[in-house]
Structure 1
Amino acid sequence: MNLISTANHNPTSPLSREHYRQLEAIVGESGISDCSEIDPNDQNRIFRSIAPETTVNSIIYPNTQAELAEVITYAKQHQLGILPCGKGSKLHWGGLVKNVNLIISTERLNQLIEHAVGDLTVTVEAGMPFAQLQQILAEKGQFLALDPTYSETATVGGIVATGDTGSLRQRYRGVRDQILGISFVRCDGKIAKAGGRVVKNVAGYDLMKLFTGSYGTLGIISQVTWRVYPVSQASQTVLLTGEKQAIATATQTLLSSALTPVAVDLLSSQLLEKLNKNAEMGLIVCFQSLPESVNQQATRLLEVGEKLGLNGEIHSQNDDNLWHQLKQFIWQPGEETKMICKIGVTPTEAVATLSQCQGLGVIHAGVGLGVLRWESVNSEHLLKLRNWCNTKGGFLSILDAPTPVKQQLDVWGYNGNALELMRRIKKQFDPENLFSPHRFVGEI
């Protein structure tokens, strides 16, 4: 067996031959893999997600929700730490995981359960790829209103676990606002459900919101019911570039107007350079609706920009390509020293914050959430920027960074008063700390 580890000292033991045999009896010979058998890129993400003292040698692929429950039951009986994932595209986000013995992937739980076209809802298993779900919905003229990272490989469960919404949150809000129901496997192997399959279902405790952004620390999501939307007839994107104060004014004017954009993002000067634009800051806005409405709204925003001395352009054909290009600049593989952080500030401080980042940056202007990327950055600048965000009512959390950086710095940087509450919730759901230990806030 190939052992994925970053050090010779490994207090966490890999799976024994007996564990291997017992788990193989549950999921079948093809349902358990040695880590050496997977794609090298996936190996690298696993390598970067676990602490140096932890060794993992096996990935389990349950074929059904029942098999998933049985695997977790076995893991609990034998006190095996679990790192849940879908296809693993965001496995390296957050803190370094410790004391895990195996990875459980929901990749094979990928079936469409129900698509209620008339009710605008869809229920799928957690391992269904986001791209596949969008294709299924598109055949009926519908879509899931999310724009997640690594949208080609991201799974439904992984999107929920990381709360990965993207730019469309301006119009459709976040992941937690679009989930109607959820099924998950508890630490004792029992299957639990919350919510339902209709838009107006409000019965029961809102576990959907609790699991969103929990990074696999409370249980393993097995099934999700989503609210979906009709595909718009037309789409246009407006890009304004220029002096940062003018961009701030244009943003405020847009957000306080009657215009109805689906996405409103601020772009740093370094990110604009990737588009061959030389400006202090940019504002990129997407309108989707009837063709006449889209044309009028895009023209109106251009007029606002012109009055402020901003350069403006409209992208009508294939505007998706521009948004995809911007995502690639932030998320594409790069130097081993690269660092990607998620930030949040009050929306009124978004322009000033982006001016200080000194890297590739995008902030969703309506809510103040964003992402920053550096190919390399010193800890002093990072901590200075975190302090800035904290003083502006926000935060800075490290998503992706070299292992030594994650060992030296507090990845989450959380200084709020809810930590004790989060620890109690974790203890209630996972008293023996088997799910993704140390990955979340306060090493939960």
Structure 2
Amino acid sequence: MIVISQENTFNIQELETIVGKDNISLWENIDPTKQQQISQAIAPDNTINCIIYPETQAQLSDVVACCAKNNWVILPCGSGSKVNWGGLVKVDPTSHHQGIIVVSSDRLNRLIEHAVGDLTVTVEGGMKYAELQATLAKAGQFLAFDPAYPETATIGGIIATADTGSLRQRYRGVRDMLLGISFVRSDGKIAKAGGRVVKNVAGYDLMKLFTGAYGTLGIISQVTFRVYPIQEASGTVVLVGEKNNIAQATQTLLSSALTPVAVDLLSSNLVEQLDLGKGVGLIVRFQTIIDSVEEQSNRVLEVGDKLGLNSTRYQDYEAELWEKLKQKILHSQENTEVICKIGVMPNKAVETLNKPGLETGLGLIHAGVGLGELHFNSVTPETIIELRRWCESVGGFLTVLAAPLEVKEKLDVWGYNQNALDLMRGIKQKFDPKNILKPHSFVGGI
């Protein structure tokens, strides 16, 4: 249960002087859908005071400084599409005033600069991914990651959750495309790192540090990315069949000279839900000039034929296929659904997708790196723990992203207990000494 604050008056008045009345909403006035999203990020019996929408970086700075002065807990939020990913925010009444301030970057959404010739773009953290891609497309360019909920996801939220998607096979992770970042510290001061070019500097690599920090170290206000030219053609090949043959096809592909932008392994349940046949699946995407897409696709089809796999090539409807795939594995509408992020050694990916516990779930693993997602309509904490043990036994991990509150309360969402915890706590203490940014929601209860 989320408690509505009865002490909003002094909070609202102080914040109104910074952003104005139109940029603050009391919890009871917030759209029910957004209420539901935010509620899934907060531990039961905690208080939400309001959601506030700064319109400039200066306003964001003043809001955070005000919260720091009053010891109010902050829940950073973009559009809210992934605000419920990760651990639950918990207010410690011995060190913080009751009440959580949800600080949204939704109105910090401007394009700062698009240097077309330099292949870079600078935007505010609240800009939506889909809007930025549409802007870049006018210049024949694109941002090379493929996040969950692309229509609503904000740039800051994508960085905070390290949500790269299938394109990491060719373009690597979100942090590898970051050239510069500005953020507001927990004391309200604005800090910057990097710029429009890559530089080697001493100290923390803040762009990598903030990627996947889930908003616990600061609030991202502005970023600069490298971008890429849109390719001439795109094509996808799907291989489906017996798991050992799929594993062999995957190894053959990854050790070849082919240059796919995406190589994903699909669990048998996911293959069936996508109407791709029966068995484990391998979906491979090429994006380059037409002749190269044709030649490379044919090479994959030959590999499939030699191994007795069901091989299908998609061209006209391949974008719809990838969108349907993303919807199946990452869509979360019902409160009972659970989405997990996993990592395993790449050579254990096919075996992982066939482990007990996944009979009623869906699984996808990016074959080149061993990272992926699991989706369950309903699953017990015990099953999640068993799958986590398997991932850890092969050098990996399992993190619960989205789940009902009762599931998150019964297990450690992050499941990490290795020797980097003290280092993580030290970094958190440096960046957020008052622990006002999403307290107790990150790895190890940080």
TM range (shorter): over 0.9
What one-letter code is carried by the residue in structure 1 that aligns with 2:199?
Answer: N
What one-letter code is carried by the residue in structure 1 that aligns with 2:111?
Answer: L
Q: Aligned partners of 1:132, 1:278: CA distance in 2, in Å?
A: 35
* RMSD between aligned residues: 1.3
Structure 1 residues 238-279: Cα deviation after superposition (integer angstroms, max 9, x where no partner): 011011111000000000000000000000011111122342
Q: Which residue of 1 aligns with 2:96?
A: none
Query: Does structure 1 conserve the Cα–Cα contact (< 8 Å) formed by 2:61 and 2:184?
Result: yes
The gaps in structure 1 that reach 5 residues or longer are none
Query: Does structure 1 conserve the Cα–Cα contact (< 8 Å) formed by 2:54 and 2:105?
Result: yes
The gaps in structure 2 that reach 5 residues or longer are 92-98
TM-score (norm 1): 0.96
Structure 1 residues 186-232: Cα deviation after superposition (integer angstroms, max 9, x where no partner): 1111100000112x333354100000000000010000000100000
Q: Which residue of 2 aligns with 1:88?
A: 80
Q: Aligned partners of 1:48, 1:230: CA distance in 2, in Å?
A: 38
Matched, 1:50 2:42: yes
Instruction: Give the paired residue count.
Output: 435
Q: Aligned partners of 1:333, 1:77: CA distance in 2, in Å?
A: 37
Q: Which residue of 2 aligns with 1:375?
A: 377
Q: Which residue of 2 aligns with 1:273?
A: 272
What one-letter code is carried by the residue in structure 1 that aligns with 2:128?
Answer: P
Matched, 1:116 2:115: yes
Matched, 1:41 2:24: no
Q: Which residue of 2 aligns with 1:340?
A: 339
What is the correspondence of 1:221-260 to structure 2 with a 5 Å cutoff? 221-260=220-259
SS of the counterpart of 1:413? coil
Q: Aligned partners of 1:40, 1:284: CA distance in 2, in Å?
A: 38
Query: Does structure 1 conserve the Cα–Cα contact (< 8 Å) formed by 2:90 and 2:439?
Result: yes
Cα distance change, pair 214–237 in 1 and its aligned pair in 2 (3 A): same
Q: Which residue of 1 aligns with 2:315?
A: 316
Query: Does structure 2 conserve the Cα–Cα contact (< 8 Å) formed by 1:239 and 1:314?
Result: yes
SS of the counterpart of 1:407? helix
Q: Aligned partners of 2:29, 2:325: CA distance in 1, in Å?
A: 33
Range with greater deviation from structure 2 (230-239 or 314-323)? 314-323
Q: CA deviation at 1:42?
A: 1.2
Q: Aligned partners of 1:195, 1:85: CA distance in 2, in Å?
A: 24
Q: Which residue of 2 aligns with 1:298?
A: 297
Q: Which residue of 2 aligns with 1:329?
A: 328
What is the correspondence of 1:23-422 to structure 2 with a 5 Å cutoff? 23-99=15-91, 101-198=100-197, 200-203=198-201, 205=203, 206-356=205-355, 357-358=358-359, 359-422=361-424
Cα distance change, pair 251–15 in 1 and its aligned pair in 2 (3 A): farther
What percent identity do the matched residue pairs reach? 60
Query: Does structure 2 conserve the Cα–Cα contact (< 8 Å) formed by 1:69 and 1:185?
Result: yes
Query: Does structure 1 conserve the Cα–Cα contact (< 8 Å) formed by 2:23 and 2:53?
Result: yes
What one-letter code is carried by the residue in structure 1 that aligns with 2:253?
Answer: L
Q: Aligned partners of 2:334, 2:120: CA distance in 1, in Å?
A: 41
Query: Does structure 1 conserve the Cα–Cα contact (< 8 Å) formed by 2:76 and 2:219?
Result: yes
Q: CA deviation at 1:334?
A: 4.0
Q: CA deviation at 1:83?
A: 0.3
SS of the counterpart of 1:438? coil
Query: Does structure 1 conserve the Cα–Cα contact (< 8 Å) formed by 2:381 and 2:410?
Result: no
Query: Does structure 2 conserve the Cα–Cα contact (< 8 Å) formed by 1:14 and 1:101?
Result: no
Structure 1 residues 369-412: Cα deviation after superposition (integer angstroms, max 9, x where no partner): 00001111122221111100000000001011110111110100
Q: Which residue of 1 aligns with 2:435?
A: 433
Q: Aligned partners of 1:338, 1:430: CA distance in 2, in Å?
A: 32
What one-letter code is carried by the residue in structure 2 that aligns with 1:87?
Answer: S
What one-letter code is carried by the residue in structure 2 that aligns with 1:331?
Answer: L
Q: Aligned partners of 2:374, 2:436: CA distance in 1, in Å?
A: 31
Range with greater deviation from structure 2 (352-361 or 216-225)? 352-361
Q: Aligned partners of 2:149, 2:87: CA distance in 1, in Å?
A: 20
Q: Aligned partners of 2:417, 2:224: CA distance in 1, in Å?
A: 33
Structure 1 residues 340-394: Cα deviation after superposition (integer angstroms, max 9, x where no partner): 1100000000000011132111000000000001111122221111100000000
TM-score (norm 2): 0.95
